[in-house]
Amino acid sequence: MIFAGITSGKYVNKTQTMPLVKRAVQPVHLTRRKVGGDSQCDFDVVSNGTLVGVLLQLGSLVQHADELFGELTQECQEVIYRTQRVRNRVLAIAVKVENLNAKAVKVRKYLTSKLSGFNRLK
């Protein structure tokens, strides 16, 4: 990873690596090969080697994308499961609330006197 920033008014460019790498695209270096011979052949060797390296990087990137979307799918399924559980609990509570009969519940006189005093304040 390239870190570039401004420190004390000067441009700083440092190469840093992450301390804990979860996914790394391989190969890192595409054209580090020794070649010898005529110039046209050298160019072909370097360009073919670079092309192979780029294709390997794309393959590595596809594998990481597959893993990433697999993990994302699993997390979404867990959220859906938890949401359904909460929804079922809320529906069960809603049924209980609808079945409550306010006239059948006895309220103590202490509470009714406090509530009636509260209503007078408005």
Q: What is the pLDDT of residues 54-95, one digit of tens each?
A: 999 999 999 999 999 999 999 999 999 999 999 999 999 999
Task: Please check whether residue 91 lies inside any domain of the structure.
Answer: yes
Residue 16 located in a structural domain:
no
Say if 12 falls within a structural domain.
no
Q: Assess if residue 85 is contained within a domain.
A: yes
How far apart CA 94 and CA 42 sit, in angstroms, is 77
pLDDT at residue number 60: 92
In a domain, 5, yes or no: no
Q: Is residue 8 part of a domain?
A: no
pTM of the model: 0.54
Most confident of 37-41, 56-60, 78-82, 115-119: 78-82
Domain range enclosing 61: 29-121
Residue 15 lies in a domain: no
Q: Can you give the pLDDT at residue 63?
A: 94
Domain count, the chain: 1
Phi, psi of 79, deg, nearest 5: -65, -40
Kindly tell me the burial class for residue 11, based on how many C-beta atoms sit within 10 Å of its own C-beta (0-12, 13-18, 19 or more): exposed
